[in-house]
């Protein structure tokens, strides 16, 4: 087929114009060169493609079929070239991001807002999943970059930190007062009662496969805290809302619940045992860092 590509282009122009001379002019070739090319193509295919006359050339049925296929092919090439020119002119590209719902809402959106303002022609797609699924999507190259809490990574994957977050426990003052009244025989009123509250309350946590839940479970184990009533939810914003209506005590990120605390919709439990801060950042593979992903990475983490 490679030998026929030039012949196909010449045939296509001759078929469009219906005239060998006009085809020669549009291709900047001599008329004999065009005629010779068409003859070679006919010989190669074993088909007569044109009916020749003094008025010009007319396609045979076989020629019409070939022209139809070539028209689709050359139209596709024209479309590809136009799209490539648009990409060059407008900087059109795609960025696929993996992130949990909470991190997307509370951390990613402000970065995206500024990035899109400066790069309006980048097509953004968001896959909202827990961290472990985001890492799997990155491995399968179904996303370009992920936003996660710091976690051990396989060789070749890099973590670029953005900011720190702090876990905390929140509830309503009413729920806490009622809990203290209900459990007055087992919860002391003295300071240092975080362990007693967490073990007696209706404790609301993310599901067990979530990185944040794993982190808090390790905190419980280290400090010998053994909750007895657990309500598992797969969305941190729901945890905040459930805590705000007095269902129980929720483990959430302080930075995500700030407006609720400010409006006194929830209160923080005083902690007997400090919870280590965590880092949120962008994860990517060193060999799959395309130009758009690198631009977003540099935009989010300026030197």
Residue 92 has pLDDT above 60, yes or no: no
Residue 1 has pLDDT above 70, yes or no: no
Question: What are 169-217's pLDDT values in tens digits?
Answer: 999 999 999 998 887 776 665 545 788 899 999 999 999 888 999 999 9
Q: What is the mean pLDDT of residues 285-290?
A: 85
Residue 6 has pLDDT above 80, yes or no: yes
Question: What are 107-161's pLDDT values in tens digits?
Answer: 999 999 999 998 888 889 999 998 989 999 999 999 999 999 998 888 889 999 9
Residue 5, pLDDT score: 82
Q: What is the mean pLDDT of residues 275-294?
A: 91
Residue 201, pLDDT score: 94
Residue 245 has pLDDT above 60, yes or no: yes
Residue 231, pLDDT score: 94
Question: What are 18-74's pLDDT values in tens digits?
Answer: 888 888 888 888 888 888 988 888 888 888 988 888 778 888 998 899 889 988 988
Residue 3, pLDDT score: 59
Question: What are 181-191's pLDDT values in tens digits?
Answer: 887 776 665 54
Residue 259, pLDDT score: 94
Q: What is the mean pLDDT of residues 73-93?
A: 72
| pTM of this structure | 0.69
Query: DSSP letters of the chain?
Result: -GGGHHHHHHHHHHHHHT-HHHHHHHHT--HHHHHHHHHHHHHHHTS--EEEETTEEEE-HHHHHHHHHHHHHHHHHHHHHHHHHHHHHH--EEEEEEE-HHHIIIIIHHHHHHHHHH-TTEEEEEEE--HHHHHHHHHTTSSSEEEEE-----TTEEEEEEEEE-EEEEE-HHHHHHHHHHTTTTS-SSS--HHHHHHHSEEEEE-TTSHHHHHHHHHHHHTT---SEEEEES-HHHHHHHHHTTS-EEEEEGGGSHHHHHTTSSEEPPPSSPPPPEEEEEEEETTS--HHHHHHHHHHS--
Residue 135, pLDDT score: 93
Q: What is the mean pLDDT of residues 287-300?
A: 88
């Amino acid at each position: 087929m490679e030998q026929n590509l030039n012949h196909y282009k010449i045939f296509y122009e001759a078929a469009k114009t219906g005239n060998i001379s006009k085809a020669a002019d549009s291709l900047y070739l001599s008329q004999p060169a065009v005629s010779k090319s068409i003859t070679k193509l006919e010989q190669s295919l074993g088909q007569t493609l044109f009916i020749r006359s003094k008025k010009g050339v007319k396609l045979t049925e076989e020629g019409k079929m070939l022209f139809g296929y070539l028209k689709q092919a050359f139209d596709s090439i024209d479309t590809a070239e136009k799209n490539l020119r648009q990409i060059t002119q407008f900087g059109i590209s795609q960025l696929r991001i993996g992130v949990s719902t909470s991190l997307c809402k509370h951390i990613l959106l402000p970065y995206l807002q500024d990035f899109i303002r400066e790069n309006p022609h980048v097509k953004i797609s968001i896959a909202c999943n827990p961290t472990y699924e985001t890492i799997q999507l990155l491995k399968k190259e179904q996303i370009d970059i992920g936003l996660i809490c710091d976690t051990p990574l396989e060789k070749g994957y890099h973590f670029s930190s953005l900011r720190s977050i702090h876990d905390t426990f929140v509830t309503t003052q009413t729920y806490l007062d009622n809990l203290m009244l209900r459990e007055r025989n087992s919860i002391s009123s003295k300071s240092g009662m975080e362990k007693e509250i967490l073990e007696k309350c209706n404790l609301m946590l993310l599901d067990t496969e979530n990185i944040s839940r794993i982190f808090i479970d390790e905190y419980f184990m280290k400090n010998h805290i053994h909750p007895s009533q657990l309500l598992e939810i797969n969305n941190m914003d729901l945890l905040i809302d459930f805590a705000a209506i007095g269902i129980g005590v929720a483990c959430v990120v302080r930075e995500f619940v700030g407006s609720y605390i400010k409006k006194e919709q929830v209160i923080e439990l005083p902690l007997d045992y400090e919870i280590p801060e965590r880092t949120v950042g962008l994860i990517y593979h060193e060999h799959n860092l395309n130009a758009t992903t690198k631009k977003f990475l540099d935009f989010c983490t300026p030197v």
